[in-house]
Amino acid sequence: MLVVSPRQASRAAIASRLRTTFEVVEASSVCQDQAGPWDAAVVDADGRCVKAGLALLDELLRLHPALPTLVLRADADRDFVLDAVRRGARDVVALTDDIVGRVTAARKGSEAFRAAEARLERRLRRVREAYREVSRSRQELIKQMGSLCADMSGSYRELASRMRDVALVSEVSAIFRQELDLESLLRTALELVLRRVGPLNAAVFLPGTTGDYSLGAYINYDCSKDAAETLLDHLADVAAPAFADREGVSVMRNFAEICQALGRETDWLGDSTMAALSCRKDGECLAVMVFFRDRRTPFDDKAASMLRVIGDAFGAQLDRVIKTHHRHLPQPSPEPDEGDRLSDGDFFR
């Protein structure tokens, strides 16, 4: 218990009241080197020591902010009490009051306050830990949401692309279904390629009964007439068999890739880029489509995808045309069974 007063008589009077219950330390001033902490303190601000006592109160609470401190003043009015409490005092007492009881009450209040403060600190610590955990979970959730949004965006783009592909396949198939004649079907296919892929040289090669390929239809975009005839004949002999058994669209972006696919006998295609596909149905090659143009306008992924759609729809319709044509051909008469054959002896029975 600390008793602070600039007057020795006041210190002794206050200390005598408190020594019956507490161990008392007397001091005339407050300094940093004083031993502590104490359970409570009483600061004398009675009589002429008002200003000095309040100054001692300020210095003591600056050095020991949590110390429960009482101010001693006999004639304390409302303004003085409010000023002392604002400075940090727990109570204002007079020497005639029950100082021991008031100090005890201040200590208990301080202990309760410190206990509540400790509980609050523990609670705040738990709240901070929970906040950090929530913050980590939030950051993880944000990452997962970002990944999920990216996946959903990719899935949406993929779905939209597939829907466009389905719509395109339906549109192309509807165009081809109107054609039941081979020549009209070939013309429609090449016209559709021109509209969808742009200017190019194109040729459709049809398989013959002996395994060779013949030119069914072609587009001459930038080749001279004589060169085109020679080139198309060569492609029928070289390119059509080379791509007949390949799945999908084969794209050759430069002369080196063309030579790798067809061999060195393609020197007149040195400045060209080429694409080829086999129109197949049930594992059988029904036609081979070959496209080439200047290498400055190569066949990109979009053009290759469009050629694949056109080639698949063309192959399906070509199969229908072939089957329809075969159904309308005159059927050979069936050979008579052995039991139905007449022998020479039957005419003489």
CA distance 127 to 132: 8
Tens of pLDDT along the chain (349 residues)?
A: 888 888 888 888 888 888 888 888 888 888 765 666 788 888 888 878 888 888 888 888 888 888 888 888 888 889 888 998 898 888 888 888 888 888 888 888 777 877 888 888 899 999 999 889 888 888 888 888 888 888 888 777 777 777 777 787 888 888 888 888 889 999 999 999 999 999 999 999 999 888 889 999 999 888 887 778 888 888 888 888 989 988 889 998 888 888 888 876 666 777 889 999 999 888 889 999 999 998 888 999 999 999 999 999 999 999 988 888 665 445 455 555 554 444 444 433 3
CA distance 70 to 46: 12
Question: Domains, the chain, ranges and CATH?
Answer: 2-110 (3.40.50.2300), 178-327 (3.30.450.40)
Beta-strand relationship, 25-27 and 69-72: unpaired
- 50, 7 in Cβ contact below 8 A? no
Q: Taking phi first (over 0 means left), then psi (-120 to 50 degrees means alpha), and beta for anything else, what does residue 282 get?
A: left
Strand partners, 26: 3
* Contacting residues for 198 by C-beta, under 8 A, at least 6 apart: 297, 303
Q: Which two tokens stand for residue 158?
A: 């993929």
Tell me, what amino acid is at 88? G
The sheet with strand 2-4 has its strands ordered as: 25-27, 2-4, 41-44, 69-72, 91-93
